[in-house]
Amino acid sequence: MLIFESAAVAADQRWTVSGTGHKAPGFETYARQAAIARGLLRAGGSPALVEADDVELLAVLSRAHTLEYLTFLSETNARLPAGALHLPHRWSAPGVRPDTPVHKDTWPEAFEGARVALAAARAVADGEKAAYGLCRPPGHHAGPAWAGGYCYLNNAAIAALTLSSGQHIPGVLDLDFHVGNGTAAILSRARNVPYFSVHASTLLHYPWQNELEGIGAYNCVEFSEPPSADGYLAAVSSMVSKLVDHGVDTLVLSMGFDTVEGDPHGSWCLEPAIYAAIAAVAARPGWPVCVLQEGGYRLEVLTECAEHFGRGLIGPLHPEGRSASRWAS
């Protein structure tokens, strides 16, 4: 498993806006990225050099997002005073209160996060069985022309659209606590990459809406109450089976660790050890897997969650290496 991580460190998100419209502390920080990286390395992952061409990245971004939105991120924000945070009221998902501020360096930080996603997708396209894009900021709430939920550019869509341009038939599985409303909207318009998700109630949690573009009873399992471990794994398995039925041969996995008990943005009771089983189920068909980091904000357990996930992913994809020293703790 190759681990792609940007050398540029995005600023910590100081605040966000809650579902009630009040300013709340932000939990999207570099500390979470570092904690996840430690777990992936302990699982046997190998750091990889992020190499992705600006021209190629801009081309795939233009397929995921509107030109007007990209211009807003890249040019308008650059004129903000240093240190200033601004809520982009025009650039929020339809019917969703703006919650994610932008700042002077939002574009270069999000652009480098997107470069990580492109590099991970390229590694899988070139034959790697598993690549982990440790993206910051995350991406699955960023839609064709909107930001939200800590997200500005959609990393999963970037990876999926990149893979669909080659010899692969990708599909996206989103296993964050929250639905990837941005990814679903982008891919429903692209129409050549299926999106599937297991998530908490979209009415009770972000984005606090019942009906979302690209989301329906067929392509998601939604839990209105915290699921048991067995119930959650069964839901993941059902989504994997549907992706296989679609003819998918490469998985883009939007991975959130905010389904763990005690996450400040979640409300479920899953234990860190479940992530090994989640990874094994997701990798069960034997397809290459491109993982993109989404949520996960309970800092004290993130290393453990990531290590379990990494070991669960490496096992099915490299069964001959389970007892080899490379995978030993």
How high is the mean pLDDT in each 10-residue block of the chain (329 residues)? 95 92 94 98 97 96 98 91 91 95 96 98 97 98 98 98 95 98 96 96 96 96 98 98 98 98 97 98 98 98 98 80 30
Helices (H), the chain: 30-42, 54-64, 67-71, 106-125, 155-164, 181-190, 229-245, 274-283, 299-317
pLDDT at 320: 53
Report pLDDT for 191. Answer: 84
CATH class of 2-327: alpha beta
The residues assigned a catalytic role are 141
Q: What is the distance between the alpha carbons of residues 329 and 325, in angstroms, rounded to a whole number?
A: 8
The Cβ-side half-sphere exposure at 315, using a 13 Å CA radius, reads 17
Give the model confidence (pLDDT) of 239-261 as tens digits: 999 999 999 999 999 999 999 99
pTM to 2 decimal places: 0.95
What are the residue boundaries of the structural domains of the chain, listed by start?
2-327
Question: Three-class SS of residue 174?
Answer: strand
pLDDT score of 179: 98
DSSP characters for 29-83? -HHHHHHHHHHHHHTT-EEE-----HHHHHHHHHHHS-HHHHHIIIIIGGGSPTT
- Report how far residue 142's alpha carbon sits from residue 184's, in angstroms, rounded to the nearest whole number: 10
Q: What pLDDT score does 71 carry?
A: 96
User: What's the pLDDT at 323?
Assistant: 31
> Residue 77's pLDDT is what?
86
The SS3 assignment for 16 reads strand
- Residue 319: per-residue pLDDT: 64
Q: Which percentage of the chain shows pLDDT scores above 90?
A: 90
pLDDT of res. 91: 96
Please tell me the predicted confidence (pLDDT) of residue 328.
Answer: 27
